[in-house]
Amino acid sequence: MKQAFLVFLGGGFGSVLRFLISKPLNIVSPNFFFGTFLVNIFGCLLIGLILGLSARGNVLSTNSTLFLATGFCGGFTTFSAFAFEKHFLLRNSELLHFSIYMISSIVVGILAVVLGLWLSKLGE
Q: Is the dihedral of CA 77, 79, 81, 87 positive or negative?
A: negative
Does 116 show up as a binding residue in the annotation?
no
Does 62 show up as a binding residue in the annotation?
no
CA–CA separation, 116 and 93 (whole Å): 35
Residue numbers in the known binding site for Na(+) are 74, 77
Residue numbers in the known binding site are 74, 77
